[in-house]
Chains A and B, each alone.
Chain A
Amino acid sequence: MSGIFASMLDGLLIGSIYGLAAMGLSLIWGVMNVINLTHGAMIALGMFGTYLLYSALTTSPYLLLLPIIGGGLILGIVVYWIAIHWVIGRPMLMSLLSTFAINMMIIGTGTALWSTSPYNVNFSLPGLTIGEYTFTGNHIAAASAAVVIALALQLFLSKTRPGKAIRAVTDNREAAELMGISSTTVLALAFGMGIALAAASGALVSTLFPFTILSGAVYQLKSFVVTVLAGLGKPFGALVAGMLLGLLEGVVTPFIAVSWIPLIEFALFVVVLVAFPKGIFGKAAS
């Protein structure tokens, strides 16, 4: 029994990273009705960014989150202006394809630069032992960082002016514009934040597992599952749903071979999409 319990708790910790990643996807989707297919690539860039900074500076990767988030924000705004701004009003296929095009370019460049051999961020925090359970220090730190970032996002959206502007645009872009909110600025900012969240989750993953430029894809898929479970427009809901997904994985892993987990997740994904068009918790985008 203790094995499952430990596995569940560990799953909860890892799930908070799934949630953080999904928040990035969900934010962009909710604000501008764009499904960001660069999400996985950006997660991978977060991993590599952390690796490069860590190799150069050797400071705690958790401190490196700050430049990673900053870099992600800037990169996101740049990508917004290249690929997203021009396709905002058009059918969704267009934004799917433009983001996918950027994704292809990032993955292509990444493969050329870093090939497909695994990389590592060699940083270990001491573990925590409570009774008979031992938790990896990195897992706890990563989960804590994820929760902190999620809280910061929630505060930003509810208490700051730009945050409220983002919520206004999410609700009704035309009305927000009529109120004097520059929707373009808001969309660029929201997209940048979505990318920053993706990069941050990548940074945290880099401290836990080895990675390649292709590693982001798995987290992108998990982000889809989590976003669909949580419904849109509720970033905190994404965090919770992510943790639930991690919990589910933790429950299942002691009993079934790891290779069955994707099947369970995707079957769940399709079922939730068809049966709960508004997500299990939240509201759907138009």
Chain B
Amino acid sequence: MILKRPFFWLILVISGLFVYLPLRGHDVPLREDLVLVAIAIILASNLNLMIGYTGYVNFGHIVFYGLGGYIGFYLTSERGWNLALAALAAGVAVSLFALLFGLGILRLRGAYFALATIGILEAVRAFVANFNPWGRSTGMYLSFEAYKVLGGAQRALWTDYYFIIFVMALSLILSLRIKISKFGLGLFAIRENEDAAAVLGVNTTVYKAVVYSVSAFLPAVAGVLMFYKNGMIDPFVAFEFMLSLEGIVMLMLGGQGSVTGAALGAGMYERLRSTLLTSPKLSDFHLVIAGGLLLIVVLFAPGGLIGWLYRLVPRSQKVIE
């Protein structure tokens, strides 16, 4: 029962803090900092379902975020849809897209699968850059009507923020729920030895397709909310390959396979990134430092922070999910 897990309550407490702290002082800069962390956590923890749980490295994960962003943007800005409904619709649409393509590319193993995910990301970006209704390579700007529905830009952005925190909490709870379920056990078996898992009775084709599809849903919703907040979208910011890779870096840093690892890695990396990008001297070196960090983790601590903790204190595995 998930309610018995202390970690579940920790998720609720942290989400509560994410809502309360900026709200208390009406602190917009803090909110903006936290929203980036929240988005990173959403992306990393859903990516973890594929990489950490199932052992399939998805290099094109950001395509779900971007595609969701575009669908949601189009529905709210051009069609006047309610934000929540648009987010839901985008999530469902992108999950179906993932299911469809997943059934094709999940036959591939290892690096071939990773490359195929890059192919899909690039193909979708190229398509969107040519797609008229979505503004082709210039993209779209949010019509101001879209904010008016939620009470004007200022209030809309706060509501949007709460929504994002809600999605963050959902992502973490979903990760936890899957981890302690039979479905999760099947995924871990696939990760450890896919052929043995099949012989043991796991319907690997269906399991992989389902987790791929599920891992697309919340990032798509997050995409809707984030681009709504930003007020604009174009193929380059929506389908940034670097963001996809940074998701993997976050998982490596924090420790792939654990819920805490994904969240911690996302949080730490996002803070590092923001600090570097806003410092006048260091912003050029953001990539160099991030690259160096990644190299050190890969060479010396491939289990990431949580992996290191698990080895140091084996009993921590029971509490820190």
Q: Do chains A and B touch in the complex (CB under 8 A)?
A: yes
Residues of A at the B interface (CB closer than 8 Å) are 35, 82-83, 86-87, 90, 92-94, 96-98, 100-105, 107-109, 111-112, 221, 224, 228, 257, 259-263, 266-267, 269-270, 273-274, 277, 284
> Quick check: A259 and B126 within 8 Å, CB to CB?
yes
Interface of B (DSSP majority class): helix
Kindly list the 10 A-B residue pairs having the minimum CB-CB distance in the complex, ordered from nearest.
A108-B287, A104-B291, A108-B288, A266-B123, A263-B126, A262-B126, A101-B295, A105-B291, A112-B284, A101-B294
A94, B298: Cβ atoms closer than 8 Å: yes
Contact A97 B252 (CB under 8 A): yes
* Residue pair A269, B119 in contact (C-beta under 8 Å): yes
Q: How far is the CB of A87 from chain B (nearest CB, A)?
A: 7
Interface pair A96/B288, CB less than 8 Å apart = no
List the A residue with the shortest CB-CB distance to B123. A266
- Whole-angstrom CA separation of A273 from B111 in the bound complex: 11
Contact of A266 among B122, B292, B294 (CB under 8 A): B122
Q: Is the CB of B287 within 8 A of A105?
A: yes
- Contact pattern, B 114-137, Cβ under 8 Å of A = 1, otherwise 0: 111011101101110110000011
Is B85 on the interface with A (CB-CB < 8 A)? no
Q: Is the CB of A273 within 8 A of B115?
A: yes
Contact check, B123 vs A270: say whether CB atoms are below 8 A apart.
yes
Say if the beta carbon of B319 comes within 8 Å of chain A.
no
**Distance from A99 Cβ to chain B, minimum over Cβ atoms (Å):** 10
Q: Is B116 touching A274 in the complex (CB atoms < 8 A)?
A: yes
Which B residues lie at the A interface, using CB under 8 A?
51, 57, 104-105, 107-108, 110-112, 114-116, 118-120, 122-123, 125-127, 129-130, 136-137, 245, 248-249, 252, 284-292, 294-295, 298-299, 302
Query: What CA separation (Å) do A112 and B285 show in the bound complex?
Result: 7
Chosen A-B contacts, 12 in total, with CB atoms closer than 8 Å, are A83-B299, A92-B114, A101-B298, A104-B287, A104-B294, A107-B287, A108-B289, A224-B118, A260-B126, A269-B115, A273-B112, A274-B107
Residues of A within 8 A of B248 (CB): 97
- The answer on a CB contact under 8 Å between B120 and A35 is no
- Is there an interface contact between A35 and B123, defined as CB atoms closer than 8 Å? no
Q: Considering residues A86, A93, A262, A277, which has the most beta carbons from chain B within 10 angstroms of its beta carbon?
A: A93
For B287, what are the chain A residues with a Cβ–Cβ distance below 8 Å?
104-105, 107-108, 111
A262 x B122 contact (CB < 8 A): yes
What's the Cα separation between A105 and B292 when bound, in Å?
7
Closest B residue to A97 using CB positions: B298
A90 to B118, CA, bound (A): 22
How far is A269 from B110 in the complex, measured between Cα atoms in Å?
16
A82 to chain B, nearest CB (A): 8
For B302, the chain A residues whose CB sits under 8 A away are 90, 94
Q: Which residues of A contact B57 (CB under 8 A)?
A: 92-93, 96
Report Cα–Cα, A40/B116, bound state, in Å: 18
Contact of B245 with A270 in the complex, beta carbons under 8 Å: no
Tell me whether B284 and A274 are in contact (CB under 8 A): no
Name B249's closest neighbour in chain A (CB-CB): A97
Per a CB cutoff under 8 Å, which of B51, B245, B288, B299 touches A87?
Answer: B299
